[in-house]
Amino acid sequence: MTYGFVGLGPTYGFVGLGQMGAPMAGRLAGPGLVVYDTRPGPMATLAEQGARPAADLTEVAQATLISIMVRDDAQVNEVAAALLAAASPGTIIAIHSTIRAETAIRLAGEARAYGIEIVDAPVSGGPMGAATGSLAVMVGATETAFEQVKEPFGAWAGLVLHMGEVGAGTRAKLARNLLHFVSFAAAAEAQRLAEAAGIPLGRLGRIVRHSDAVTGGPGAIMIRRTTSPLAPDDPLREIMCHVRALGDKDLALALELADELGVDAPLARLAQQRLAAGLGLGEEDPS
């Protein structure tokens, strides 16, 4: 399903129609959407859905809310500079690219001189989430700007959360992606162990995806408000002690198997060393 801005007043501009940007913009397609990309093909596709292709960034700058989904800091800086020079006071420019938090903060400072607000709003969920309109958005913005963007962002996102001031969205994305890619490295280590043990990797992958969908995967333990050690009377302590006991046992067994098979498992050894502290339990006995 697509969402247009016909009759809703403010127009939406979208810059960057790649693997993520094109499906995001597609869910906004209609006469109120103006799009721009250096490649004519993606613009033509969205024009068939009712969007207006822009000849340059100056045309996009006429929109009230503009989303930027380009590759890196250099491209964000280039696009933002062109938009700031042409946009009107009151415009909101949202940066969805994964960049340095300092880039968003600096651009927000430059934008204030023009009466324009910068919002850093990186997304999580990949092309699959973009295609289904179920992305998660981490928004760094003033309270006022967040109130203005959360409904439009909801056209292509399933979760829109205010993380704090400008820069907070990007910092949240970097923390989220740290978990993402460290988990990939851990998955590769688990596959090496499974392969050495003669386990079909495809079937193991199916088990992991199925069980993580049920339990929540690594995110299941992200329920504390601080990473400080848990107080003795904290209601989460019993839960985390149980997790630690299971982890200590299962990691020890996995490392025993790895030693038997001659498989190097450095991430598992590091996890064994740091699990208790990571759960807020310090080095105390799990019992």
The set of catalytic residues is 173
Q: Tell me the CA distances in angstroms from 193 to 172, 201, 204, one per residue in order.
A: 32, 10, 11
Q: CA separation (Å) from 250 to 217, 222, 273? A: 16, 20, 13
* CB half-sphere exposure, 241, CA atoms < 13 A: 13
SS3 118: strand
Residue 225 DSSP one-character state: S
Do residues 70 and 43 make contact, with C-beta atoms less than 8 angstroms apart?
Answer: no
Burial category of 117 from C-beta neighbours within 10 Å (exposed 0-12, middle 13-18, buried 19 and up): buried
Can you tell me the distance from the alpha carbon of 213 to that of 209, in angstroms, rounded to the nearest whole number?
Answer: 6
Say how many CA atoms lie within 13 Å of 204 toward its Cβ. 14
Helix or strand (DSSP H, E) at 75: helix 73-86
Q: Who contacts 229 (Cβ-Cβ below 8 Å, separation ≥6)? A: 280, 281, 282
What letter represents residue 137's amino acid? V
Q: How many CA atoms lie within 13 A of 255 on its CB side?
A: 15
Q: Are strands 123-124 and 92-95 parallel, antiparallel or unpaired?
A: unpaired
Residue written as token pair 């098979």: 261
Helices (H) and strands (E) in the chain, counts: 11, 9
